[in-house]
Structure 1
């Protein structure tokens, strides 16, 4: 059980601080789709892939004192920022995790804006469909986001970049 918690703590530790619950959900989902061993189950939700399991684990980790959840007021809404605590660092030191390529992917994803990560995660959610079908789904399901074909192309390019980071070619 605690191995799954350790993976989440590790992800947040490597990323530094993750601003926003939606962003955290998308980062873990994308990492999972890049074949990193996150076990949380995701389903399609209003903002793209979402995991109730991940939400509960984050809440547990905050309650146990391993993660810090800081509530920040933005213009008209609150955003939650997550970072590792000293107790979380101690907890991590007791768990052996071997995911070396994850660091570069997480740092890169954390630098992206949540809207873009929502697009990337939505594309990955429908990864069994052809690109044109995925675009149709995005224009229908994400109509309010007003994504463009150019943004969809950028998201596919970004996915390819992440895949090359997650699975470096051996020389």
Structure 2
């Protein structure tokens, strides 16, 4: 019944803590794109790929007491910090989640900035386009982020690194 929730719990368990809703969205999207079996549907949004389904699942996990969400004021905005609870650990022990290499992959992503993961997820979102077309999309859609050619190359290299972990 809660199979998709359990998969998300596997990601939280692997990371220990995720800081930021945007980072969480990008981590799950990237994991899905490199073939982890996450089922959430994503659309392109202000900060790159975004899933309303993922937002709702995380809210449900918080409501069930499996994930703890702490809202912290950071300057002019709020940041959300997610950790798994004891009830979440118990739930996960009884759920059958079999995603080899998830821990290494999400732990690696969790060490990156949300800004970089936004770039990586945007590159993956437009993966049917040529590299030049992807760069053009990024310079147009993400002009406020001021990504450079070098950062785009780093994003492509990072995607290959993650695929090797998987």
TM-score normalized with structure 1 length: 0.96
Matched residues in 2 for 1:95 and 1:55: separation?
21
Structure 2 counterpart SS, 1:83: strand
Q: State the Cα RMSD in Å.
A: 0.6
Unaligned runs of 5+ in 1: 167-171
Residues 138-165 of structure 1: per-residue CA shift (max 9 Å, x gap): 0000000000000000000000000111
Structure 2 counterpart SS, 1:25: helix
Equivalent residue number for residue 61 of structure 1? 61
Structure 2 counterpart SS, 1:99: coil
Structure 1 counterpart SS, 2:22: helix
Matched residues in 1 for 2:7 and 2:159: separation?
22
Equivalent residue number for residue 165 of structure 1? 165
Matched residues in 2 for 1:60 and 1:19: separation?
18
Structure 1 counterpart SS, 2:103: helix
Equivalent residue number for residue 29 of structure 1? 29
Structure 2 counterpart SS, 1:37: coil
Unaligned runs of 5+ in 2: none
How many pairs does the alignment contain? 166
Matched residues in 2 for 1:13 and 1:102: separation?
10
Equivalent residue number for residue 151 of structure 1? 151
Structure 2 counterpart SS, 1:135: helix
Matches within 5 A, 1:109-124: 109-124=109-124
